[in-house]
Structure 1
Amino acid sequence: MIKYTNVTNVKEFMIIGFPELPPEYYGMVSFFLFLVFTAILFGNVFILAVIICEHNLHKPTYVIFFNLAMTDLLFGTVTLPKIIARYWWNDMMCSFGACFAQMYFVHSLGVIQSLILLMMALDRFVAIRFPFRYVVLFTNKNISISCGLCWVLTFILMMGIVLHALTLPYCDRNTIRQCYCDHNSITNLGCGDDVAYVKWVAFANAMVTLLAPLIFIIISYFSIIMAVRKMSVPERHHKVLSTCAPQIFITCLYFVPRCIVYLTDSLGIKFSLNARIIITMMYSLIPPAINPVIYCLKTMEIKTALTQRFSNRKINLAPQSDKTQNVKSFA
């Protein structure tokens, strides 16, 4: 019978990434992850700058978009540099404290993103079903306070989850078969009799923070679709659905792969380790990289703001070029 001590011997964790990846593909994978990180960084910074600079976008909907872009930017910054360094420079080691810090921000930002997506759904639900109440309920002040509470309360909640994981002793094993430190990967390395309980508490928390927003989001969009079907004007159908389509797509990108992972675990369906890691990376990194493109291509007010900005710049540059030509001709 194995006896575990209550003393943590592990000082560093080794992040493996994709365990079955041949070394000849390390360079290609690191370059691809670098491109994803670049897309997340520049895309979301661009969206943040557009929303800040364009006064026409200082509306409740875009306050929500701003917070979603912030979570996407932070999530990519927290997770990708380390796994890129692992494949670029073979830097696999991560200190004990840094790994737990990464776990804290990974799960905190995941919960915040779920809540922000819920707010996006409620924003469209109230705007379409109760348009006269929308201007009262959804003000910039109310949405800013709600988003702030999402951040603060989530960080407090996840601090408890992380501290609970820290109560476990980590005796000998330190290999994380994942691309970043998450709760499941770390607690799998714990020893002692409390590992199962710590994992169960975290799983219950994950189910609440994932399924509760998802249920409300499904109800909201279902109600919107039913309301659209009752509209007598076809043009209104297209306008309402085109407004909601980007948000529905973003929500599906975020929730569907997560639900697949959780449901297959519950049903006892086993993926290969690499397949599970790929699915995890898909729902972690594809939405942050794709969201800015969706905002720019599918959100009419952002497209209009950008079009006006560039057209005004062309108009301002045209007189300067004419003056230059006149000076040359005079000379």
Structure 2
Amino acid sequence: MSEGNHSGVTEFLLTGFPGLHPQYRGLVSALLFLVYFLSLVGNATIIFLFAADRRLHKPMYYIILNLCMCDALFSTTTLPKIISKYWFGSGSISFLACFIQMYFVHYLSSVNSLILFLMALDRYLAICHPLTYSNALKMSTVHILSVTAWIISNAGPLMMVIRAYPLPYCASNVINHCYCDHIGITVLACTDRAPYGFPAFIMAMIFLLGPLAFIVFSYSSIIVAVLKIADSSGRMKTLSTCSTQLIIISLYYLPRCFVYLASNVGLRFSVDVRVVIIMLYSLCPPMVNPLIYCLRAQDMKESLWRQLNKRSISQKTQVSAVCS
């Protein structure tokens, strides 16, 4: 069968969590909706704080702003469809829409990885090269690096879609996942997957392990620099400035590295466990990250309290005006 012939496949079926008992579908859909709602509200709050408070217009917070935008877009790309499956029984997704979703899943994951690289670069320069930090990482430089991250991340996902879309899909159209990704789609093709899967794997590793290598190097250098500080309070204060980023980076990379390592050493998961793990490391960080920013980043915490106090004072003024 020639490539480009989809053999009548016009849509794919997303199974979500394959082994989920019907009586728990309502609970799972409500939980997914809560995750989506908290992700949107949390990331929108950070974006609002950045727009409303010029004191946050610093390189580190501009990088966080990019991460918030990426997290909100990723949640919007993946969650509404699987929520509608459990709420309305609508698990089908059109052939074209599935590939569009696949593109954005891999694109936003690549952007996320590069933004975390910029986070590590910011802390590396601030702690290991403090005298040159302000000149090396100006706001204009961060703007250029951020835009570059959003642009170059197109390469891998676009290549995946261009190569996978024309394949002959003549077998099952059931995707054992909550959203369309490259592996979930291409395993359904009626052709040898290796010529398509291996380049995609290499590209994914470049965008995953490339930034991770620098992150490991940067934080190793940071630890060495901190250990040279004689004052223990100075060491703790310096470490606290990068603790937020380190927590966020760990949430993103550690589960992914665990899954890749487990698969390479022969540890296999059931389909249900695999889907749950992927959903946890894909969707928990967008929900948890804004909370970490507000609790750990001092400037962000102060900005949030200022905005809340402004609203409280405004409401009291309005009540007083009405009563008088």
Cα offset, 1:309, TM superposition: 3.0
**Which amino acid in structure 1 is aligned with residue 224 of structure 2?**
M
| Paired residues for 1:193-232 under 5 Å | 193=192, 195-232=193-230
Identity fraction in percent: 44
TM-score normalised according to structure 1 size: 0.93
1:167 matched to 2:145: no
**SS of structure 2 residue aligned to 1:231:** coil
Superposed, which structure 2 residues align to 1:124-203 within 5 Å? 124-193=123-192, 195-203=193-201
Kindly indicate whether the alpha-carbon contact (under 8 Å) linking 1:5 and 1:171 is maintained by their aligned counterparts in 2: no
Letter of the 1:46 partner, please give it. Answer: T
Q: 1:277-322 CA distances to partner (integer Å, 9 max, x unpaired)? A: 1110011000000000001000000111222333345556666666
Q: 1:274 maps to what in 2? A: 272
Note closer, same or farther for the CA distance 1:324–1:97 as it changes in structure 2 (3 Å cut): closer
CA distance in 2, matches of 1:44, 1:188: 34
Aligned pairs for 1:89-128 (under 5 A) are 89-128=88-127
1:24 aligns with 2:23: yes
Corresponding residue of 2:42: 43
Whether the aligned pair in 1 keeps the contact of 2:156 and 2:200 (CA below 8 Å) is no
Distance in 1, matches of 2:91 and 2:304, equals: 42
Distance in 2 separating the partners of 1:215 and 1:320:
54
Equivalent position SS for 1:191: coil
What TM-score comes out, normalization by structure 2 length? 0.95
Q: Which residue number corresponds to residue 247 of structure 1?
A: 245
Provide the C-alpha distance between the structure 1 equivalents of 2:285 and 2:311, rounded to a whole number of angstroms: 31
Local SS of the residue matching 1:61: helix
User: Rg: which structure is higher?
Assistant: 1
Residue in structure 2 matched with residue 233 of structure 1 by the alignment: 231
Q: How far 1:70 sits from its partner (Å)?
A: 0.4
* 1:66 and 2:62 are equivalent in the alignment: no
Residue of structure 2 equivalent to 1:86: 85
Aligned to 1:77: 76
Question: Could you tell me which amino acid in structure 1 is paired with residue 158 of structure 2?
Answer: M
Structure 2 gaps of 5+ residues are none
The one-letter amino acid paired with 2:109 is G
| Structure 1 unpaired stretches of 5+ | none
Specify the code of the residue in structure 1 equivalent to 2:6: T
Distance 1:235 1:273, change over 3 A: same
Cα shift at 1:196: 1.3
Q: Which moved more, 1:230-239 or 1:40-49?
A: 230-239
Residues 11, 95 of structure 1: 8 Å contact kept: yes
CA–CA distance in 1 between the matches of 2:14 and 2:304? 41
AA aligned opposite 2:118: M
**Is the partner of 2:167 in helix, strand or coil?**
coil
Deviates more, 1:166-175 or 1:272-281: 166-175
Corresponding letter in the other structure for 1:58: H
Aligned to 2:154, what secondary structure does the other structure show?
Answer: helix
2:93 counterpart SS class: strand
How many pairs does the alignment contain?
Answer: 322
- CA distance in structure 2 between the aligned counterparts of 1:229 and 1:60, rounded to whole angstroms: 25
- 1:290 equivalent in structure 2: 288
CA distance in 1, matches of 2:113, 2:318: 49
